[in-house]
């Protein structure tokens, strides 16, 4: 997976169905729409799971890995429920461990784009530990007891919502070196630029963000 993998949606809404965008022996790139979970070990059966989609695309007989919970159904990483984007997965053990090796040696670059509040500086490095141990609220937070986490933020555009109410916004491109739970949402909030329309991490602005 050393080639650069990207996808341009053009005028297509990113809330469409999931799709396998790149498939080569042992590895796939899957588009996750907003509102889909990558996988889950509990809850109701009516949730939209990317793992179920992948299992439908790859049979248990030919690709048993994507049907094994103990190996995370082959997924290398996850995206939060409200997010859309590309998810890497292995369809064979060789493919999965090749991806893990590249991730652990920083040969894979993960970049995400998000709309955030306020005017951010052109670039900002965030090195702040993320504590994801809370099971009561399932919300991560910056804290000394957390695991090391590193994000690089770039602001290619500053925007203004016409209102009402008027609001200063910024488009942030975030490159993460670690993959802690909700890392981007935690780090952007930590530096004063919480993600827009995020009632989980910025409830005070959620009502105002309802128009996005």
Mean pLDDT, rounded, for 13-23: 82
User: CA dist 184 to 80, 103, 156, 212, Å?
Assistant: 10, 17, 17, 19
Q: Provide the whole-model pTM.
A: 0.82
Shared domain check, 63 and 24: yes
DSSP 43: S
Task: With CA atoms as reference, report the closest residue to 179 among 79, 54, 65, 89.
Answer: 79
Instruction: Indicate whether 14 belongs to any domain.
Output: no
pLDDT range class, residue 13, cuts 50, 70, 90:
very low
Please tell me the distance from the alpha carbon of residue 72 to that of residue 70, in angstroms, as a whole number: 6
Mean pLDDT, rounded, for 36-54: 81
Which pLDDT does position 43 carry in this prediction? Answer: 52
Model confidence at 12: pLDDT above 70:
no
Shared domain check, 128 and 44: no
pLDDT digits (tens, 9 = 90+) for 184-200: 999 999 999 999 988 88
Last-in-domain residue among 76, 105, 134:
105
Query: How many structural domains is the chain composed of?
Result: 2
Shared domain check, 77 and 101: yes
CATH number where 142 lies:
3.30.2350.10
Please tell me the distance from the alpha carbon of residue 136 to that of residue 25, in angstroms, as a whole number: 41
Model confidence at 76: pLDDT above 70:
yes
Shared domain check, 58 and 84: yes
pLDDT digits (tens, 9 = 90+) for 154-168: 999 999 987 767 789
Shared domain check, 161 and 145: yes
Phi, psi of 54 (to 5 degrees): -65, -40
Domain that holds residue 127: 110-206
């Amino acid at each position: 997976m050393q080639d650069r993998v990207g996808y341009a949606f053009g005028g297509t809404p990113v809330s469409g169905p999931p799709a396998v965008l790149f498939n080569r022996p042992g590895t796939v790139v899957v588009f996750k729409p907003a509102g889909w979970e990558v996988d889950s070990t509990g809850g109701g059966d009516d949730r939209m799971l990317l793992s179920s989609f992948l299992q439908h695309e790859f049979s248990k007989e030919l690709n048993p890995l994507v049907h094994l919970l103990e190996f995370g159904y082959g997924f290398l990483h996850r995206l939060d429920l409200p997010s859309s984007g590309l998810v890497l997965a292995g369809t064979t053990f060789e493919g999965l461990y090749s991806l893990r090796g590249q991730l652990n040696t920083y040969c894979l670059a993960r970049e995400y784009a998000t709309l955030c509040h306020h005017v951010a500086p052109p670039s900002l490095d965030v090195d702040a530990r993320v504590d994801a141990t809370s099971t009561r609220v399932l919300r991560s937070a910056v804290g000394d007891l957390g695991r090391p986490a590193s994000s690089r933020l770039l602001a290619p555009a500053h925007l203004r919502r016409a209102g009402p109410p008027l609001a200063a916004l910024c488009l942030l491109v975030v490159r993460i070196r670690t993959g802690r739970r909700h890392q981007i949402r935690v780090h952007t909030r930590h530096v004063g630029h919480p993600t827009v329309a995020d009632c989980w991490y910025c409830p005070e602005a959620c009502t105002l963000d309802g128009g996005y």
